[in-house]
Amino acid sequence: MAHRKDKGGQVLLRQLQGDLPVEKRPFRTVASGAGMSEEAVLDAIGTLAQQGVIRKFGAILRHQRAGITRNAMVVWAVPPDRTEEAGNVFASFREITHCYERRPPFQGRYNLFTMIHAGKGSLEELIGTISSKAGIGDYQVLESLEEFKKSSMEYF
């Protein structure tokens, strides 16, 4: 059984943190790289998921190619007593992929940060809808102009 702190667990996690091969049995290839059987890899993944080490597996969508051409980090000035409420409203929008509270607040007042993805022409309207639903009118839009790097974190 793999555990995140044992050497076998780290070897497996190293194999899993990169891209999985796009093939019929990707975990067989992972198993080969980790020196394990495919069954042992699947069992270890189950154990690591139960331990909370692995939360999910997911495909990475090249959003520009899918028509999601506009992205922005929006920073929101949310009163401290409304942070959780506003965070939950923001998190309810599928177009928001990240929502964080930051301290100290950016420019002394913007304490909630969201990353919003939208199709051509709809970003401003979407931000207006989010603002209205959350009841937060003090925000700044930091629109993405160019992507220099995007990768998953490698821990081991």
Q: Could you state, in order of their start, the residue ranges of all structural domains in the chain?
A: 7-50, 70-143
Please give the chain's pLDDT, 156 residues, in tens: 454 456 667 888 888 888 888 899 999 999 998 889 999 999 999 999 999 888 887 777 777 777 777 889 999 999 999 999 999 999 999 999 999 999 999 999 999 999 999 877 789 999 999 999 999 999 999 988 888 887 776 777
Task: List the helix and strand counts (H, then E) for the chain.
Answer: 5, 4
Q: CB within 8 A of 66, min separation 6: which ones?
A: none
Q: The tokens 């009118």 sit on which residue?
A: 137
pTM (two decimals): 0.68
Per CATH, the number for 70-143 is 3.30.70.3460
Q: How many C-beta atoms surround the C-beta of residue 124 within 10 A? A: 13
Instruction: State how beta strands 110-118 and 70-76 pair.
Output: antiparallel
